[in-house]
Each structure stands twice: as structure tokens, then as C-alpha cells.
Amino acid sequence: MVKCITTIEQLHAELNQAYLDHKTIGLVPTMGALHQGHASLIQASSKENDITVVSVFVNPTQFGPNEDFDKYPRTLEADLKLAANNNATIVFAPDIDTLYPSKDPSYLEVLGNVSEVLCAKSRPIHFRGVCTIVAKLFNVVRPTRAYFGQKDAQQVLIIKRMVKDFFIPVELRVMPIIREQDGLALSSRNKYLTNEQRTQALVLSQSLKHVANRFAQGERNVKTLVSEARKIIEQSPIAKIDYVEILALDELEAIDTIENKALMALAVYFGSTRLIDNIILE
């Protein structure tokens, strides 16, 4: 039976003996509304660690003033069941005051190109909030390993930089994107979509699949691949493109030709719901 813990003191009381016994601890940071993508992270952690902690916390500092913080789905009861069914040990579900105890909170921010492109252009405070909360969770849980999904590719790259630059003793494990049978990447925000919007959103995975095929056939010109992907997305009359880009890994530099490993990433609105997806080209 998974334990639901809401305070740092309770969490440390549960984990202190594990620290003393040098047991491995896996952390799966989430904002709740758990789905099978999260389940895959929890399963991986439970296989590789003695203890798995799943954090459930809708982090206010990564939402802009006109974003969906207030309506973001909060489904703790269902999240506890999913965590238990996938062998989590603890669900850590603190309130805002627990993780932001100061009236004027401090922030941690990764600088440079990796945090200025893609999602950062339209969500300028987002990754500052992500780095801040992930660093807090690393300090609170002190995990051996932490598990993230490749769907949040830019977030993963920024957290890798944070871990490197601040010498944080944690191993990052990046797990594959989990998709529905029709190709749609699993996301907590999929719950916002109407049936029509969900059907239209399939152009995202279709465009990525097309680019992967063209890359496999030998196409390396970035403008060509991006143009072809945009044309597929624009076949949906309700799709509003935020960005479709191909950038070099791992610093997300702009390139004209794919010579080494590259990330193709996109963000598209269907109604008011913004969906992201990506593939790695190598």
C-alpha cells in the first residue's frame, strides 16, 4: 500500500532509515493527473530502486499569469491508485506553503541558449519555476535517481545542465514518450481536448513520423523538414502553431543542416490547449 505524505518532516521520518542503510531511492516528480506515461516512469523506478517516491505538486511558479494553474487537473485519489498499482512506495503531496515557505521565494535558473528557445519564448518564466521546484525536490528527497519523460525534452536538457552546474548527486533517467495507439503523446492536458480537438491533434505525431521517415531516407536540410512538418500540421483547420523547430542537441543551437544528433520539437494549440511533442533525429 502506497503511503501518502504531505510534510517534509513526515517524509524524512520515512526515509531516514533508508539513508542510513544506503538504500537506493527513485524520485518521479509530477504535477499529478497521472497517466500511463507517468506509470512507465514509476515502473522503471520501482525496478531500479529500493524505494520510489512520486511527488504530486502543481507548481505555481512555472505557470504564467494567463496560463492554466487554477484549472490544471488535480486528481490525488486517482493518482494514489495509479502509484500503488505501479509499485510506488510513497506519494509526496505537499501544499504550496510547504515547498515555498518564504514570503519572497528564491529561485534557481539555468541560463544560456538551452533556456531561451522553444517553450521559453512563449513561457518566459516557466523553466525558472521548473528548475526551482526540481531542485527543492532533489534537496528534500535526496534521490539516487530521478525519472523524467522525453516528451518534456527541453525541460530534461535544462535539468541536466542544472545537475551538472550545481554538482547535484543524482542520476537522471530519461524514459521514452508513451503514446496512445493512434500516436497522440500522453499528457495530463489531453483531458482538456474535445473529441474533435483530440482527433485534429493527431497531426502532431503524423508530422513527426513524416520527418523521421524523411530523415531515414537521407534528408538533412532543416528548412525542408520543418516546412514539410508545418504543412502536415496546417492540414488541421483548428491547429495554431507556436513553434516547429529542429535544433542541435544538447544546447539547442540553431542549425541549417543536421550533421549530428538533433531534436525536432513542436508546440501547437488546439483551442486553448497547448500540446508539445518531439523526436530525436540521429
Helix/strand/coil for 253: strand
If 0-12 CB within 10 Å is exposed, 13-18 middle and 19+ buried, where does residue 129 land? buried
Q: Which of 12, 22, 38, 126 is catalytic?
A: 38
Q: Contact 92/11 with Cβ under 8 angstroms?
A: yes
User: 242 φ, ψ to 5°?
Assistant: -85, -55
The CA distance from 249 to 115, in Å, is 13
Is 210 an annotated catalytic residue?
no
For residue 2, give every residue at least 6 positions away whose Cβ sits within 8 Å of its Cβ, in sequence order, or none: 80, 83, 84, 88, 89, 90, 91
Q: Report residue 57 as a C-alpha cell.
A: 505538486
Q: Which residues are catalytic?
A: 38
